[in-house]
Amino acid sequence: MEIPAAMAAHTLSILIPLYNEEEFVGTLLERVLSAPLPEGIGREIIVVDDGSTDGSAAIVEQIAAAHPAVLRFIRQPRNQGKGAAIRTAIEHATGEFSIIQDADLEYDPREYGRLLAPLLEGKADAVYGSRFVISGERRVLYFWHSVANHILTLMCNIVADLNLTDMETCYKAFRTSLLQSIPIRSDRFGLEPELTIKLAKRRVRVYETAIDYHGRTYEEGKKIGLKDAFGAVYVILRYAFTRDLYKDSGPDILDALAGAKRFNRWLAGAIQPYIGKRVLETGAGIGNLTGILSPRRDRYIAGDIDPEYLARLRARFQHRPKVEVRHCDLSNPADFEALAGAVDSVVCVNVLEHVEDQMAGLRNIYAALRPGGRAIVLVPHGQGIYGSLDKALGHFRRYSREELQGKMEQVGFRVERILDFNRISRPAWYVTGRLLRRKTISRFQLRVFDSLVWLWRRIDRLLPWPPTSIIAIAVKGE
């Protein structure tokens, strides 16, 4: 019995690009509709017609009319390619997980459970169905086509630093939110290496599982050819040297900062002396500070609200038993009920300025601390340099020393000291965000800046202008 998506514990979005598959698409959709899914999984089917000129669209429309609650049919105005069709399907996906299903009969929908298993177990963010890890059966076909697949997989593995056996497989399953956060530029079959390289650079957990494969010949309608192989080589070389990984500028800036390891150590060194053994880090992001601060703690809770950041944290710290990753909204008291008095330190770095109700955020920090515990709160300093970078990062405000101290004292903290941090970058922040009105940070400039952190640490306190950030060290009363 089909479980309505609205009633299912999880929903699988099945993304089907369609182009001139009149002979096969009806049978394929019957198999997709009847394919067994793990218990509690509902399905939605999204078919995107990429400008078919045969009777494919009419067949899908008829089946969609018979299954309106499950199947959605979207028509592209003209043929653009598989990548373009998948891009459209992703925009309409609402399931927790997504799988790409070609409209021919080469891949068997009865294997959805195998692809979903690592995702449902929380082990993987993406799963590739490999035609070359043999556990079942596959049709024996073209030798040179297989050679081309292996060469392209090898090239992609070199760039992505992965050990996939089948990058070009059309059976790929993902967490939908991850897929929707990645900009897809390829309109044709370059989709496969582009996604693979971007997943690798995002450092997500990629698993591979064996699948059966029933390939078809060119006489039977196979479409991919030599031109597409050269196109895949171009895509691999293109994304080897670029980092077009996020649709939004905020996560892109955070990713860029992940590469500023010396800067992160400088910041961690500034707050390390004030941190105890049981720590809550709010707004942990992708773990830039977590990895430095969490060793030698009895308990370290890394909290965030973004599902992609949480997934990245779980992947990064899955083998660290004392690191706990949890959803933690600084503005939501319910997220702090289980944490009341649980920690002796709360690290809140570049988070409070993102919270519209800053007083609620400070009260939640106060509630999480045991008596005598410390809050370490870093915020951007100086509303006068608020600009496009702040807006891109989602900042509501920048702070003065007096404002930050006053707000913290209002909720009961005793502010021990306020530290100035990172004067050196203030002029660049002003020029980039106020004068040039840019929304991203140049990765090249950031690398240069990071390479000179040894110098900035020595001269920062001597500079005559205000800091870019301030750090409040505050104590909860006994």
Rounded Cα gap, residues 151 and 52, in angstroms: 31
DSSP 8-state class, residue 435: I
pLDDT at 88: 96
Q: At residue 335, does pLDDT exceed 90? A: yes
Of the candidates 399, 263, 434, 283, the one whose C-alpha atom is nearest the C-alpha of residue 346 is 283
pLDDT at 2: 56
SS (H, E, C) 68-132: CCCEEEEECCCCCCHHHHHHHHHHHCCCCEEEECCCCCCCCHHHHHHHHHHHHCCCCCEEEEECC
pLDDT band at 139 (very low <50, low <70, confident <90, very high): low
Give 261-304 pLDDT, tens digit per residue: 999 999 999 999 999 999 999 999 989 999 999 999 999 999 99
Which CATH number is 250-476 given? 3.40.50.150
Work out the average pLDDT over 420-433.
Answer: 94
Rounded Cα gap, residues 277 and 469, in angstroms: 25
| 476, β-bridge pairs | 413
pLDDT at 134: 62
**Structure-token match 């008596």, residue found:** 371
Q: What percent of the chain has pLDDT over 90?
A: 73
pLDDT at 218: 52
Tell the CATH topology of 5-246: Spore Coat Polysaccharide Biosynthesis Protein SpsA; Chain A (3.90.550)
Q: Where in the chain is the domain with CATH 3.90.550.10?
A: 5-246
Q: Which 3 state secondary structure label does DSSP give 264?
A: helix
Q: At residue 34, does pLDDT exceed 90? A: yes
Is the backbone of residue 187 left (phi > 0), alpha (psi -120 to 50) or beta? alpha
pLDDT band at 347 (very low <50, low <70, confident <90, very high): very high
Question: ∠ CA(354), CA(477), CA(267), 5° rounding?
Answer: 45
Q: Where in the chain is the domain with CATH 3.40.50.150?
A: 250-476
Of 21-30, 274-283, 304-313, the poorest mean pLDDT is in 304-313
Q: Do residues 5 and 37 make contact, with C-beta atoms less than 8 angstroms apart?
A: no
Q: At residue 141, does pLDDT exceed 60? A: no
pLDDT at 6: 56
Give 388-401 pLDDT, tens digit per residue: 989 988 899 999 99
Work out the average pLDDT over 45-68.
Answer: 96
Give 430-466 pLDDT, tens digit per residue: 999 999 988 888 888 889 999 999 999 999 999 999 9
Single pTM value for the model: 0.80
pLDDT band at 5 (very low <50, low <70, confident <90, very high): low
Of 38-42, 156-160, 219-223, 352-356, the poorest mean pLDDT is in 219-223
Q: At residue 318, does pLDDT exceed 90? A: no
pLDDT band at 467 (very low <50, low <70, confident <90, very high): very high
Rounded Cα gap, residues 307 and 316, in angstroms: 14
Rounded Cα gap, residues 269 and 68, in angstroms: 58
pLDDT at 122: 86
| 72, β-bridge pairs | 46
pLDDT band at 162 (very low <50, low <70, confident <90, very high): very high
Q: Do residues 171 and 138 make contact, with C-beta atoms less than 8 angstroms apart?
A: no
Rounded Cα gap, residues 374 and 356, in angstroms: 23
Rounded Cα gap, residues 226 and 23, in angstroms: 24
pLDDT at 311: 86
Q: Do residues 176 and 97 make contact, with C-beta atoms less than 8 angstroms apart?
A: yes
Q: What percent of the chain has pLDDT over 70?
A: 94
Q: What is the mean pLDDT of the chain?
A: 91
Of the candidates 425, 454, 455, the one whose C-alpha atom is nearest the C-alpha of residue 441 is 425
Work out the average pLDDT over 94-99.
Answer: 96
Give 211-267 pLDDT, tens digit per residue: 887 765 555 555 566 787 888 899 999 999 888 888 887 777 777 777 789 999 999
For 323-344, give one letter per residue: b (16+ CB within 10 A) or e.
Answer: bebbebbbbbeebbeebeebbb
Q: Which 3 state secondary structure label does DSSP give 339?
A: helix
